Amino acid sequence: MIGAIILYRARLALVWRKKEQILSKSENDRESKSCIRRVYTEDGCLTSDLKKIMKEVESFYSKLYLEDDLKLSEIELNFSLQS
């Protein structure tokens, strides 16, 4: 009887270990898919170098917000001219 209990617990432990491995793998897959792995640079080259990717992302957002600031100042200028 004790041997059957030990065997049952061993099988149960194996099942749980497999489930944990599956969950861990799915979490790692999600994490790897949520990051930028390749990006086209301003000159049109495809790069997978992390430092270059970070530089391109930073450049993109700095230009984006710079353009928004310019549009905002144009809107304020047009509004003040109409008033």
Q: How confident is the model at residue 82 (pLDDT cuts 50, 70, 90)?
A: low
| Buried b / exposed e along 5-18 (16+ C-beta atoms within 10 A) | eeeeeeeeeeeeee
Tokens representing residue 32 in the block = 């790897």
At residue 71, the pLDDT reads 62
At residue 65, the pLDDT reads 72
Q: What is the dihedral of CA 9, 15, 18, 22, to 10 degrees?
A: -140
Around Cβ 83, how many Cβ atoms within 10 Å?
Answer: 5
pLDDT at 83 over 50: no
At residue 72, the pLDDT reads 60
pLDDT tens digit string along 24-81? Answer: 777 666 666 667 888 888 888 898 888 998 888 888 888 777 765 656 665 555 555 5
| Domains of the chain by residue range | 1-35, 38-83
Write down the pTM of the prediction: 0.44
Residues in the chain: 83
- 39 phi and psi, to 5 degrees? -150, 150
